[in-house]
Amino acid sequence: MIFIFARLRSLVALLAAALVVVAAPLARADYGDPPEVEAQRLVHVLGYVGADYGGAVDHGAITNQGEYDEQLSLLDDGAKIAGRIQPALPADAPRVDLPSLVGKVRTLVDKKAPASEVTAATLDARTAILGAFRLAEAPAAAPNAERGRAIFQKHCTECHGEQGRGDTPKAATLNPRPANFWDPDVADGMTPFRVASTVRFGVQGTAMVPFSQLSEAERWDVAFYVVSLRHTEAPADGSPTYALGELATRSDGSLREELLSAGIAQDRVSATLADLRKRAPYEDRAARSPLALARAKLDRARVALQRGDREGAKGQIIDSYLEGVEPVEAQLKSMDAGVVARIEDHYMGLRAALDRGETPAELNASISRTLAELTAAESRLKEGAKRTSFVSTAISSGGIVVREGVEAALLVAALLGLAAQAGHGDKKRYVHAGWAVAIVLGMLTFLLSLRLVTISGAKRELIEGVTALLATAVLFYVSYSLLAKREVQRWMRFLKEHISPRKAALSLFGVSFLAAYREAFETVLFYQALLASDASSLAAVVGAAVGAVVLVIIVSAYTRAGRFAPPQVFFRISSYLLYGLAVVFIGQGLSALQMAGVVPAHRVGLPSVPVVGFYPTLETITAQLILLALAVGAYVWNKRSPAAGPPPRGATPAPAKG
């Protein structure tokens, strides 16, 4: 008997030792994973809480006790994970207090706070963790649809069913039941990132076990497949081009809302979503679309922000505009100038928010608004391409010439009139030479950009900005001297006595050339975009000719009016016009340099008015206010100065033509 008890004690000891040996790896699986894996698990927990909290609490009352208790349990686990990985933060990571961030979420859940507050808090915490540990929210390469389907068939159909409805015999025996991926309450908030995390870590208290044997690429494959299951419609053509990182982190609900806001018809939204879930993730569409490149760079900016690299994020934001938006800006302007102004406002706002030191969560929201505007822009482009006809192309072409040339036409008209009134009628040829040379150079620019060199977005903005500021300088020199003279006799005497024929010729040529070349350069960009959209070349030529006739009529009408108007009235109007154009040009020039990242931009809360060169940044407004203050100063000085006496002997004012 003693021998038997001894043998039993030995057997129990052996079993206990075996349990220790078996349990040790299990313990390491829970508490000995690398910090990066633990961080991924914490992101998964917070994402689960943020997505499901609204189903447990409504208006401060618990609506599902089981779900609410699960939220608390998950947050308890999350707090432990946060405490374990806090000491393991990389040395170069942003300094964040992970336990405090998770504790803030727990406090809100304990208080039964509104779902929006809990979601925002979980987003803040997730953003901090993703950035600190440099975790990816999207696959490194496009997923594989066939492999995703095969993995789902092998591992998931027993519980979720072939179609993902969760209606299998085994599902009926489980509590809670497996998710039905067709249920709008589930599917509208589901993202590939959340599915991939669930596959990696499972769901505590359910039959959804971790599939840690799958590689990261395989988890993304099955995640994108799961999200596509309910989209049975034929995918639509011409959908907006989203970056892969966006598709990985966006839910059907948020995509649907954005598509509707972008102007996509209600009856096309389902087919468009089908395209974004069943085809877009598996194709490299960014290479074929500048706006897709813009989106991809904004997504990289978001990742840089998560990692605390604000300078890197700023560079990506600038590149997003210059390399993604700028190449199609001319085409967009011809269809909807308003959307271009809004996009520019969003980009300037993003840079201003960075400079103000806004949090990554706040900047993420700004990036999301910018992406939504890009969706609207792409929708306009694709709708416009469908409506292209001879008449619409001709109208667009004529509109380009008139819209881009009217400032230069008014300036040329004012210069011609002033030259005649001031006795420099023989210098009109220099005005004509200036705009003629500008048009020739504009055409050469067009040919070069088509055949020899590619003018990047940054170069375009620099050329536009520098030429606008040069034109401002020359315009200011000419027009301010006119504003500073109170009477027409003084104006004429000043022009005759103080401006030599050579200087007058150079001034007239310079102003005419700079203003006209700037507009010619922009017109080149518009025609590049117009012809790139398969528009009729003949229609473009016809429209351009009609637009040119309109500009000639404007110039002729202005100069003819100058022949009959009293000289003093004509001089005042012309000087105000030239000075006003200087104010417009300095705003446009500085704004172009700001978009190129050359000049700093501190945004103020006002709308843009591009037609008058008003862009709501401290730098552009200050420059324009200085010019306006100088004009007011000249006016006040003239009012206080004694009236001029008669012209000096031998100086005869030029008579008004009439």
Task: Give yes or no for residue 366 having a pLDDT over 80.
Answer: yes
| Per-residue pLDDT tens over the stretch 187-214 | 999 999 999 999 998 887 788 999 989 9
3-state SS assignment for residue 604: coil
Instruction: Name the pTM for this structure.
Output: 0.63
Q: What is the DSSP letter of 605?
A: S
| Per-residue pLDDT tens over the stretch 515-541 | 777 777 677 766 766 666 566 778 878
Run of H or E residues at 595:
helix 567-595
* Region of 89 on the Ramachandran plot (φ > 0 left; ψ -120 to 50 alpha; else beta): beta
Extract the tokens encoding 457.
């977005």
Q: What is the DSSP letter of 320?
A: I
Extract the tokens encoding 215.
């590689």
Extract the tokens encoding 486.
């109170």
Mean of the pLDDT values across residues 474-484?
A: 67
Helix axes 567-595 and 618-640, enclosed angle (nearest 10): 160
Query: What is the separation of C-alpha 466 from the centre of its chain, rounded to a whole number of angstroms?
Result: 24
Which residue stretches of 65-215 are H helix? Answer: 65-85, 98-110, 115-132, 145-155, 157-160, 169-172, 184-187, 192-201
Place 503 in a pLDDT band, splitting at 50, 70 and 90: low
**Lowest model confidence (mean pLDDT) among 95-99, 301-305, 473-477, 478-482:** 478-482
| Per-residue pLDDT tens over the stretch 390-431 | 776 777 777 778 777 777 787 777 777 767 666 666 777 888
The one-letter amino acid code at 29 reads A
Extract the tokens encoding 285.
């569409």
Please state, in angstroms and as integers, the Cα–Cα distance from residue 329 to each residue in 118, 159, 405, 440, 587, following that order.
Answer: 39, 50, 18, 23, 19
384 burial via Cβ count (<10 Å: 0-12, 13-18, 19+): middle
State which of 16-20, 320-324, 409-413, 503-507 shows the largest mean pLDDT: 320-324
Place 356 in a pLDDT band, splitting at 50, 70 and 90: confident
Residue reference for tokens 């991924």: 40
3-state SS assignment for residue 227: helix
Residue reference for tokens 């088509």: 450
Contact 634, 484 (CB under 8 A): yes
> Which residues have a Cβ under 8 Å from the Cβ of 106 and sit 6 or more positions away?
72, 75, 79
Residue environment code for 426-460, b if the CB has 16+ CB neighbours within 10 A, otherwise e: ebbebbeebbebbbebbeebbeebeeeeebebbeb
